[in-house]
Amino acid sequence: MENPWKIAQQQFDRSAEILGLEDWLRLKLREPRRVIIVSVPVKMDDGTLKVFTGYRSQHNTARGPAKGGIRYHQDVTLDEVKALSMWMTWKCAVLNLPYGGGKGGVRCNPKTMSTGEIERLTRRYTSEIFDIIGPEKDIPAPDVNTDGQVMAWIMDTYSVLSGKNVPGVVTGKPLDIGGSEGRNAATGRGVYFTLLNYFRNKKQSIGARSVIIQGFGNAGRYAAMLLESAGFKVVGVSDSKGAVYNQNGIDVKDLIRVKAETTSVVNYKEAEKISGEEILYKDADVLIPAALESAITYANADRIRAKIICEAANGPVSNEADKILQERGIIVLPDILANAGGVVVSYFEWLQNMQSYYWTEQQVNEKLELMMKTAFDNVITLAEEKNITLRESALMIAIKRVAEASKIKGLYP
């Protein structure tokens, strides 16, 4: 796998060069403001002690508190977390949210851990990063292998240590403790809105356009449901155990049932069972990488058959692959735009927590649709004006906004 931090920095360098950014701003923005590494000792169910490694990176806070998820995965690294925090900075800026970018993670395999072990891990990790998070400092959210329950434990631990209830310390919480309507579906809904905006902009009909979704977690599942309801035909889906493909279409509701009952999409009987890698190379109008970084690299970009790639994951296409896809005429709807639905509704949740005033799901979805459309229109207008890719356009808009905020604030001391 290619190093995500190098990919993120190379993307920044290219866009900064096009923008003509001053040297001091380039030096400042290409590095995270703060990174911490913590030891997370956890007493396991069998009485033994294990020490896990946790990370939190705050890339930039010029436009507001850091914002970004926490992931639990056996392959979490410092460079991955730094890259994700940089991409979060650009994502928040391209959507014009009053946030900077943050990201965190613990190197562990939660699929081999009990609920009690995950809770103890979460509470200890929270206590270790307590000093640098908070509603006006850094606001975590769910990411890979974390969910509303994990956010509830973080909120409770932070609140106990603060001596008061602090719902705004995290987003993606359950509704009963201050979560927002529409948050669970937000990332997938943002992907859905991005594709609709693209086809509308190009004055192309949706028809029965075929879609492959690589990764069937939260984002992939909701994207599949919404796209199917709009008339798209989901023909392929994968998860960590493999993939299924049927050129005539897959019943998404039935697939979700099979996944829930058997833990994997590979047990769906109405489609051909193939490998998780092979699904990337099948025929489809749209490919949605919705798993981890670097799914498409220089080694396999020439095998992609989809005409459009909509990035539901963070950093699923490497820089070398980007060039190959561009040369082949494949459109890439970039992650910092396409998967921003989650952070937009996280912003809505944070606002609701700070005001103690809560919105309906319809209000949330309408506001999300408007913000996604505004951002998309800005990105595609600049791309067409400058004859650049949508990724370059999105990065330029984001970097310029962060650079302007940094320039106005200056350096202290």
Tell me the pLDDT tens digit for each residue of 102-112: 999 999 999 99
> Could you tell me the pLDDT band of residue 187, with boundaries at 50, 70 and 90?
very high
Asked if domains 31-168 and 186-338 share a fold, the reply is yes
What's the half-sphere exposure (Cβ side, CA atoms, 13 Å) at 56?
Answer: 23
Classified by CATH at the fold level, domain 186-338 comes out as: Rossmann fold (3.40.50)
Cα–Cα distance measured from residue 351 to residue 381, given in angstroms and rounded to the nearest whole number? 29
Position 250 pLDDT exceeds 70: yes
Position 1 pLDDT exceeds 70: no
Tell me the pLDDT tens digit for each residue of 12-39: 999 999 999 999 999 999 999 999 999 9
Mean pLDDT, rounded, for 395-409: 97
Q: What pLDDT does residue 145 have? A: 94
Position 408 pLDDT exceeds 80: yes
Cα–Cα distance measured from residue 97 to residue 245, given in angstroms and rounded to the nearest whole number? 38
Position 235 pLDDT exceeds 80: yes
Domain segments of the chain as ranges: 31-168, 186-338
In three-state secondary structure terms, 76 is coil
In eight-state DSSP terms, residue 317 is: B
DSSP 241-257: TEEEE-TT---HHHHHH
Position 372 pLDDT exceeds 80: yes
Tell me the pLDDT tens digit for each residue of 103-151: 999 999 999 999 999 999 999 999 999 999 999 999 999 998 999 999 9
Position 210 pLDDT exceeds 70: yes
Residue 23 CB burial class (10 angstroms; 0-12, 13-18, ≥19): exposed
Position 293 pLDDT exceeds 90: no
List CB contacts of 413: < 8 A, sequence separation 6 or more: none
DSSP 324-390: HHHHTT-EEE-HHHHTTHHHHHHHHHHHHHHHT----HHHHHHHHHHHHHHHHHHHHHHHHHHT--H
Q: What pLDDT does residue 404 have? A: 97
Tell me the pLDDT tens digit for each residue of 299-358: 999 999 999 999 999 999 999 999 999 999 999 999 999 999 999 999 999 999 999 999
Span 31-168 CATH architecture: 3-Layer(aba) Sandwich (3.40)
- The set of catalytic residues is 103
